[in-house]
């Protein structure tokens, strides 16, 4: 069983040099005392990281692509989240594992005082392996099996049912003395943001009970009335592309529903509100906008009682904590001209930047050019495409960008990719998963720790059924063809 959340966390396995470089933590696990206003996050120099990575041979011709995570930046981003919620009496901040499903990163986040939000059996396993105690894990998913529900209930993991039928399954599976905090996800149907796929509170969203549908609100209230163990409401409006007022409007609606449920029950049945995550990330430049303080201000404006202490608050931030604390660096393998435009072919494409390749308008990434030694590229600026290695024409991560003219052996950096990029690559073309390194400054130099080593070709074959290579030419060889 994982260690108690009250125990002082020990050093993170796999990150010894990085952890020692950051110095002692405060009592709440943050680098320095919390405060209402904080300095901008101090991030490690990309140039210094690249120069050191090239010098150590972890980036270059033999290792043409890698992901890097700024450990101090992660700590400071979490500290900013804690600081923004300082006045909230009872709050559990959880990290959405899907944003960066790497065990050493999750262990680092656990040390900062975070809990963990999971959405699959695999993510639950990662959270447990990273050392999160079950009582600080929240399971959300729209299609949980009975087996997944039973496992969560047996462990004491908090669980948010996605629909009313799922409550019936919990009725049947919930063991005596179950320690899980159990909630229901609702969809306030307040509308969508600029990216439809990231908007989860639309009229036809697949998530939660649609509160505006005829009779739905009354059915939710009745569901709580029949189940005294149902004590949490969950809502998540969306993430990237969703403005703060829209997010706040949806969460205020959940607060009002909780008040109605408690009034009808004649007691404080709903004791906590899970507000989801969804703080958008500014991909245009280095600034962190909006901030967690902006988020809190938006909630206060929409519903002053929301963070006033009547309910325990749970958050599920992911991208906003990690995106700006990571980047991808890739070697330029070739350059060519096509139709009057320069094209630089690199080792970072759709297998790493999947969303950007398929939805470039919604997920644009900043790209920077560096020389083979990791220093800034000094060359005339030229409009050019930065493409990846995948075998389809659309594998372009930056279209018609003005960059110093790239050449073979140069490095391209894709910024703000600490979440949803190198941590969860796509296996298209059987391209290997890239290595990922934690980085920090120690003793005036950059030090690295391996978070995930690069995938080997043998491992690719093993994942592709190597152990069963003869399965279709052995016992089935003499089988009669279908009629």
Tens of pLDDT along the chain (483 residues)?
Answer: 333 332 223 333 333 333 322 233 232 333 333 333 456 788 999 999 999 999 999 999 999 999 999 999 999 999 999 999 999 999 999 999 999 999 999 999 999 999 999 999 999 999 999 999 999 999 999 999 999 999 999 999 999 999 999 999 999 999 999 999 999 999 887 778 787 877 777 677 777 898 988 999 999 999 999 999 999 999 998 888 889 999 999 999 999 999 999 999 999 999 999 999 989 999 999 999 999 999 999 999 999 999 999 999 999 999 999 999 999 999 999 999 999 999 999 999 999 999 999 999 999 999 999 999 999 999 999 999 999 999 999 999 999 999 999 999 999 999 999 999 999 999 999 999 999 999 999 999 999 999 999 999 999 999 999 999 999 997 776 656 565
Q: How far apart are CA 458 and CA 417, in angstroms?
A: 27
Would strands 411-414 and 230-234 be described as parallel, antiparallel, or unpaired? Answer: unpaired
Helix (H) or strand (E) holding 166: helix 164-173
The conformation of residue 326, written as its DSSP 8-state character, comes to E
Q: Whole-model pTM? A: 0.89
Largest separation between any pair of C-alpha atoms in the chain: 74
Both structure tokens of 223: 């569901």
Which pLDDT value is given to residue 480? 62
Given a contact cutoff of 8 angstroms between Cβ atoms, the answer to whether 365 and 348 are in contact is no
Q: How far apart are CA 179 and CA 390, in angstroms?
A: 47
Given a contact cutoff of 8 angstroms between Cβ atoms, the answer to whether 202 and 189 are in contact is yes
Helices 244-265 + 216-226 axis angle, to 10: 50
Q: How far apart are CA 376 and CA 378, in angstroms?
A: 6
Which pLDDT value is given to residue 56? 98
Given a contact cutoff of 8 angstroms between Cβ atoms, the answer to whether 394 and 357 are in contact is yes
Q: How far apart are CA 119 and CA 139, in angstroms?
A: 6
């Amino acid at each position: 069983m994982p260690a108690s959340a009250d125990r002082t966390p020990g050093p993170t396995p796999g990150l010894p040099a990085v952890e020692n470089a950051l110095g002692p933590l405060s009592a709440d696990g943050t680098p320095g005392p919390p405060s209402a206003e904080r300095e901008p996050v101090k991030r490690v120099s990309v140039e210094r990281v690249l120069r050191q990575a090239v010098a150590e041979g972890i980036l270059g011709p033999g290792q043409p692509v890698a992901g890097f995570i700024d450990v101090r930046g992660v700590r400071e981003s979490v500290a900013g989240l804690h600081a923004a919620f300082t006045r909230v009496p009872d709050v559990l901040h959880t990290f959405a594992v899907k944003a960066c499903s790497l065990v050493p990163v999750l262990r680092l986040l656990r040390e900062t005082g975070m809990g963990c939000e999971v959405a699959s059996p695999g993510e639950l396993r990662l959270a447990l392996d990273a050392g999160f105690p079950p009582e600080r894990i929240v399971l959300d998913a729209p299609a949980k099996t009975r087996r997944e529900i039973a496992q969560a209930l047996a462990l004491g993991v908090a669980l948010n049912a996605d629909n009313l039928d799922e409550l019936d399954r919990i009725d049947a599976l919930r063991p005596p003395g179950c320690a899980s905090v159990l909630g229901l996800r609702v969809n306030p149907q307040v509308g969508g943001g600029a990216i439809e796929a990231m908007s989860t509170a639309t009229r036809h969203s697949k998530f939660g009970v649609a509160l505006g549908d005829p009779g739905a609100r009354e059915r939710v209230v009745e569901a709580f009335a029949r189940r005294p163990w149902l004590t949490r409401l969950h809502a998540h409006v969306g993430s990237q592309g969703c403005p703060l007022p829209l997010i706040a409007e949806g969460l205020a609606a959940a607060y009002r529903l909780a008040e109605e449920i408690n009034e009808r029950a004649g007691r404080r049945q709903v004791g906590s509100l899970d507000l989801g995550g969804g703080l958008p990330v500014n991909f245009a430049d280095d600034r962190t906008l909006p901030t967690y303080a902006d988020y809190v201000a938006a909630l206060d404006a929409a519903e002053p009682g929301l963070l006033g202490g009547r309910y325990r608050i749970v958050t599920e931030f992911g991208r906003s904590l990690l995106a700006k604390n990571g980047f991808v660096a890739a070697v330029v393998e070739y350059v060519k001209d096509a139709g009057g435009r320069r094209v630089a072919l690199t080792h970072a494409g759709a297998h790493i930047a999947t969303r950007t390749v398929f939805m470039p308008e919604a997920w644009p990434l900043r790209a920077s050019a560096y020389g083979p030694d990791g220093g800034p590229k000094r060359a005339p600026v030229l409009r050019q495409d930065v493409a990846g290695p995948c075998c389809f024409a659309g594998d372009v991560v930056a279209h018609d960008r003005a960059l110093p003219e790239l050449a073979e052996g140069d490095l391209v950096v894709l910024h703000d990719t600490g979440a949803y990029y190198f941590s969860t690559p796509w296996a298209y073309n059987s391209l290997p998963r890239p290595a990922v390194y934690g980085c920090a400054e120690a003793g005036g130099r950059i030090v690295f720790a391996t978070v995930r080593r690069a995938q080997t070709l043998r491992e690719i074959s093993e994942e592709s059924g190597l152990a069963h290579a003869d399965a279709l030419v052995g016992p089935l060889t003499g089988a009669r063809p279908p009629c």
